[in-house]
Amino acid sequence: MAWAAPQDEISRRDFAIAGFKPPPRWEVLPSERRSYPQLLAWASRGEGPERAVITLVGKRLPKGATLKTMIDEALALRADPRAQSVRAQRQLSPGWIPNQRVQVDALLAATKTRRAQVVRQLIYMNAPFAYVLTLVCPQEQAPARYRDLDDTAANLTPLPVPGTETPAGAPAAGGAAPAPAAPAGVSSTPTAPAGPASAPAAPGGGGAPAAPGSR
């Protein structure tokens, strides 16, 4: 169900996240046209081979899952024959568990029928949920579209999980926020949280990276 929010913004109380709002000139797909329940939001800009896509996917994590779990699941993209230069890094992200997010980058190489594309994913946790915000766009658009992704990410906000008073990444009353986890030690691949049976189509007719755990 959608949580009350401005009409040009998507928020989901059932997944404890608010504020999906791409920059101007991005078209947001209506909720009734989204292809699977974990696809919380989908937006595109441009047409045909010029199309760029931003998606937000969410999942409920099993007990004991961590941000490192999501990084490990992301490694699956290395098996994609188009994927090159796959890498991951942790970044400071207050309010999310553990006050960090993971940025995953990859290049999808050109083929006879597909142009080169870039993939950037931002992975967040607000236990018991995880989220992946994904950009897929033509390689030559990358600088401008990365800025659009950053603007979209900056608006995302963890909501209180049902049964709690504050978002999971925020300090509890009289207590400290969770300590940061150990740094990611390996490159990893961009993939959305486990659960979706399929991922949105990438620009230019190419398939988007599969979601972790969906294979």
d(CA 37, CA 57): 9
Quick: pLDDT tens for 9-27. Answer: 899 999 999 999 999 999 9
pTM value?
A: 0.75
Kindly report, residue by residue over 43-62, the tens digit of the pLDDT: 999 999 999 999 999 999 99
CB 200 within 8 A of CB 42: yes
Is the peptide bond preceding residue 98 cis, with omega within 30 degrees of 0?
A: yes
| pLDDT for res 34 | 75
Domains and CATH numbers, the chain: 10-200 (3.40.1000.10)
Residue 108's contacts (CB-CB under 8 Å, 6 or more residues apart) are 80, 82, 83, 84, 114, 116, 117, 118, 119, 136, 202, 206
- Digit-coded pLDDT (tens) for 86-139: 988 899 999 999 999 999 999 999 999 999 999 999 999 999 999 999 999 999
Under the banding of pLDDT at 50, 70 and 90, the label for residue 178 is: very low
Q: Mean pLDDT over residues 64-78, rounded?
A: 82
Strand order in the sheet with 17-20: 10-12, 17-20, 157-158
Residues of the chain with pLDDT > 90: what percent? Answer: 55
What number is the average pLDDT over the span 180-194? Answer: 35
Both tokens assigned to 13 = 């109380």
